[in-house]
A = this chain, B = another copy of it.
Amino acid sequence: MRLSSSLTLIACLAVSGAAQAQTATPDDARLRADALALFEPIPLAPDPAPAAEKVELGKMLFFEPRLSEGHNISCNTCHNLGTGGADLAAFSTGHRWQQGGRNSPTVLNAVYNTAQFWDGRAADLAEQAGGPMQNPVEMGSNPEHVVEQLSGIPGYLPLFASAFPDAPEPISFANATDAIAAFEDTLITPNAPFDRFLRGEDDALSADQKAGLAAFIDQGCAACHSGRNLGGDSYQPFGVVEKPGWSILPPEDKGRFMVTKAEGDEYAFKVPTLRNIALTPPYFHSGAVWDLGTAVGVMATAQLGASLDESQTAQIVAFLESLTGAQPQVVYPILPPSTAETPRPKM
């Protein structure tokens, strides 16, 4: 992965960044070297590229409200591609106006997370995609009904058959989630200012953003928020130094412990990606904090035992804002029509 990233870097420099890279100050060069030891840019395109037929089908299913019991909630409802792949609410509202218990994580760059959900209970995007469909407080359906529903929409059969040519029964729950995952593989956000800095563009970051990046590394944030996604690849107890208040860390949600039952996992959560974080308030699994600066302060106190002054906080926030990449350009899919025999919504 590091190798392919380096090749991309070289390609990028060859096209546009070489002149700027040559004028790097020693400070910029050192900051970039420090950063490249911890982070890597989002690739410019999905690698490997998922099969086009699966992606196109998966895009339809991602926007398909008939996957929910009421035919009014799709994946995109809570992972809205127009709002950073999340839904700008503390908890999502699902079937029959029920509220979920954790903040919807962004679907953008989720392919680079080591596992899915705040507690990592799904190994990959396909497994994750099946979760909300059958969660009674989310889409309220179940695997059998999803298959019945999709089989009752005639236009889907040829699309599944084309995406899964070797399957004797192309329409299955597993194939539906597999196709959604293929589409989600494409939901990456390259070319954030931070990535362009990593690739050699000194001017991609402002002075404040560079100071924020340095502070992010020096203060220890990057101990957990590292790698391609600046997070997404480990579980950490929330409040390792000092537990935040119960409004931020509700006592009843023990996080990863509910999956592993391991004592050390109490109140541990998957470290979230910080990619596009400025687009996706509110923050934390509890969605309790709406201000990015406040969230940075909570993290410093709870995880690092550090107290940041206003200027440091502002610089780190400025750096986090540099993690907003190019948002996916998606043509809204036209879905196959229902017929009189298609299973109908149940409210």
Contacts and interface: CB of A to CB of B under 8 A. Distances in A.
A70 B93 contact: yes
A81 B332 contact: yes
Nearest to A91: B347
A30 interface: no
B88 A345 contact: yes
A87 to B, nearest CB: 7
Interface stretch (A200-208, A297-305, A323-331): A323-331
Interface in A296-347: 327, 329-335, 337-340, 344-345, 347
Q: Tell me if A's interface is mostly helix, strand, loop or mixed.
A: loop
B80 A65 contact: yes
A164 B32 CA distance: 44
A331 B330 contact: yes
B89 A71 contact: yes
Query: What is the oligomeric copy number?
Result: 2
Contacts of A294: 340
A330 B332 contact: yes
Nearest to A66: B88
Contact of A63 (B60, B82, B333): B82
A281 interface: yes
Contacts of A281: 338-340
Given A93-B70, A281-B340, A331 B334 contact: no
B338 A88 contact: yes
Contacts of A82: 60, 63-64, 332-335
A246 interface: no
A34 interface: no
A53 B279 CA distance: 23
A72 interface: yes
Interface string A277-299: 01101000000001111100000
